[in-house]
Every structure is written in structure tokens, then in C-alpha cells.
Structure 1
Amino acid sequence: MFFRPRVLRLLPRYRRLMRDGARAKAVVVESRAWYGSAGPVALNARLRLEVRFPDGAGATVSRVVRYRDLGDQDVVGSILPMRYEPGDRSYVEVDLPELRRSYSARMAKLDRAAVREARAKLRRPGK
């Protein structure tokens, strides 16, 4: 099942996976809008992901994720953090908490760079 309703994130298995699951990475191979919109804005992205496990094995999975959870990582070629159960690799999920942390860190870095650039412009005479 590629669509995971948000309420499933409340289940103990999902929470345990996000807390204790092993980490992997996945490449976005395909991304397209999926059912659900608010006016002209699509709410969900259907992603086809190639997951690479630490031992070199791989798998292809499809998931539907909200665009707002993905930040700017819905582009083909993006690398997403994943979590899986070492004993059951068929249970693989996008690591949304890690994705949000990395997005927040990138945005904070861009904000700091913008402030530095603006301060430098103010220091230049004649502009």
C-alpha cells in the first residue's frame, strides 16, 4: 500500500519505527501530483523511490507524501531519509521527522546567508 493515511502515524509500530528503526536513503525516481487538491494546489505527491540499505541491497517502493511534509525534496533526483525494520525490510517509510529537521536547518542557513548579504550591502558606501 503506497498511501499511508496520517492517522497511521499514531500507531505504535510506526512510532517505534521512527524512534528505533534502522536508517537508509532513497532516491526519488518519479514524482507526480496525487489525488487531493485545494483549488489549483496539489496536496500530495506520489513518489517512486529506490531505497538503498546500508549493506548495499535495494528495493523500489511507492509512497504518497504530503507536499508540505516534503519541503523542497519532491524533485526527481532528491535523496530522502528512510527508516526500516532490520528484521522486516518490507516495512519501509519516509523518515518525516528527519526530513523536517534537515529542511529547517537548510532554511535557517539560507536565512543567515541572506542577513549577512543584506548587512554587507548596507556597509557599502554609495549604494
Structure 2
Amino acid sequence: MYDSCNCEKSEDCMCAAISSYVHACAAVGIQLPGWRETMCGKYSSVCPSTMVYAYNMTTCGRTCRSRAEPDYTCQVNFTPVDGCGCPEGSFMNEENQCVPPTSCPCYFKGSVVYNGETIKKEGVMW
């Protein structure tokens, strides 16, 4: 409360403080979904057009790259947070856009292979 009242933009500071509290609760297994519906709602409506806001965002398996290569973020115990991310069934591409799986590029040895590009693997062009 002290930090919020002494802040130049008190609403921004209050929302940041409450968000930290909600994250601390989530870290011990207590979920507080919907808290932005009654306060700090302007921060949940600023997602880019291809993304959605959710109270339980994680990084595991959320990118096009994670569909083709091991996703090491899935090996870390990470507390879900509220924020913007791709809707269920879509994945973030290299341009930070959420796309359907059929629009994801291919990957080879860590590099993006865009539609129309060819690579040489074991002496054979693909």
C-alpha cells in the first residue's frame, strides 16, 4: 500500500503490486483467476491482435520451434503467470505472431527453414 500511494502513477504501481501478490500466491499453488476483471483491467486488454490474455500462461510448448525441437522450458518448474500468449491450438512463430500449426516454419539444426528454401542433409537436397 505504501509503494502504491507514494508512486507518481498510483494505479500502475498498485496493479504491479497486486500482480506480484497474485504471482506469489500462484507459486504456492493458490490460483486467483479473474482478479483483473474488477481492477487493473486495462492491462489485460493490451495483447497483440493474434494473442489472448489468460491467468495461467506458461512457456512450455507454446512456440513453432517447440513443435520441431526439444523445448527446454518444459524441464523447468515455472509458475504460470497472467499475461498475453497464443490461443490454444496456435503457436508463436519467429515474428512473434500466433499462427496455426500448419503455418509454422520448419527447423533444421536450430535454424529456420522457410517455405521454398532447400537444405542439404547427408548429401541430399530437401
TM-score (norm: length of structure 2): 0.30
TM-score (norm: length of structure 1): 0.30
Q: Max radius of gyration: which structure?
A: 2
| Greater helix fraction, Structure 1 or Structure 2 | 1
- Considering Cα pairs closer than 8 Å and 6+ residues apart, tell me whether 1 or 2 has the greater RCO: 1
| Greater strand fraction, Structure 1 or Structure 2 | 1
